[in-house]
Amino acid sequence: MSICEGILQVMEEQAASQQFKRVKSVWLEIGPLAGVELDALRFGFDVVTRDSLADGARLEIIEMPGTAWCLACSKSVPIRQRFDACPECGSFQLQITGGDELRIKELEVD
């Protein structure tokens, strides 16, 4: 719920600065390493935005891939969760380079 409240707060701030009255759609980029349960986010979004400028807004989720740099084999590799082993060499010396994002990519407004 706190993530949804933060998203609503950003939308309210943007509405004040950009002078729009209603949010029709929200696109979020979320990676598998962000620690967000997507079904809970969808439910929380509907609850938190009720009777707000985003009441009834469509929530679109863009799932971003998880990626890491393997220090052992010097390759960029895909990962699904933190502490995965390198799919190339089996090393656990990975530095996350993508997939931990949670950001508003776009708003459709009136």
- Any binding-site annotation on 4? no
- C-beta of residue 105 within 8 angstroms of C-beta of residue 29: yes
Segments of the chain assigned E as strands: 23-30, 58-63, 66-70, 75-79, 94-98, 102-109
Orientation angle between helical segments 2-18 and 38-49, nearest 10 degrees: 50
Distance CA(23)–CA(52), nearest Å, equals 9
- Annotated binding site for Zn(2+): which residue ranges? 70, 73, 86, 89
Binding-site positions read 70, 73, 86, 89
